Structure formats: structure tokens, C-alpha cells
Amino acid sequence: MSGGRSLVMQRTIVTPGERERFIERARQRREHYTSRRCRYWVFEETELSGAFIEFAESDDVAALAAALAGAPEPVIDPARLYKEVEL
């Protein structure tokens, strides 16, 4: 894999009783990704509490692939990396 800005995303739905646990695990994932030169964001759907989408992104596709390989919780489909398109 060559360099270039890339990202991976994942949707997750949790029950109200699991929401705080999910948030805590997301904090741990953020620590993991940021320590490996990646950025990590979580968004919650405005009309459906507990419906999240997570993004991990890096300016280097190899760094993101390595971060995914060592992630504390694997992404559902780590092979599905998206690379920024030059416009």
C-alpha cells in the first residue's frame, strides 16, 4: 500500500444500557488510533440514540492499515479502506 489520505468506517448500534460502555470503549479506540498517527471520530445519529458511525483516518494508508491490524477491537471489514480521490 502506498501513502495518501485514507479512512475506514463502521456503523454500530447499541442498546441504551450499553451506550456508556460503548463510549468508554470508543475512548480506548481513540487512544489506540491517535498513538499510531491516525485520527478517530464517533458520530451518533441525531434521531436514533445508540446508532453510531466511527471513522479512523490517516494521511498515510500504511499507518492506518497497521493501526487497524493492532486495534483493541477489530473493525468488521478492515480490508475496506477508502482512499481520498484527488479532484
The whole-number pLDDT of residue 74 equals: 78
Which residues of the chain, if any, have pLDDT below 70? 1-3, 78
Number of helices (H) and strands (E) in the chain: give both, helices first.
Answer: 2, 4
Its domain, for residue 55, covers: 6-83
For residue 46, give every residue at least 6 positions away whose Cβ sits within 8 Å of its Cβ, in sequence order, or none.
none
Task: Measure the CA–CA gap between 72 and 26, rounded to whole angstroms.
Answer: 10
Alpha helices for the chain (secondary structure H): 19-34, 61-69
Let me know if residue 28 belongs to a domain: yes
Let me know if residue 47 belongs to a domain: yes
Number of domains in the chain: 1
The whole-number pLDDT of residue 51 equals: 97
Let me know if residue 1 belongs to a domain: no
- pLDDT digit string, tens, across residues 18-29: 999 999 999 999
The whole-number pLDDT of residue 27 equals: 96
* Domain CATH number, residue 30: 3.30.70.100
The whole-number pLDDT of residue 1 equals: 47
The whole-number pLDDT of residue 7 equals: 93
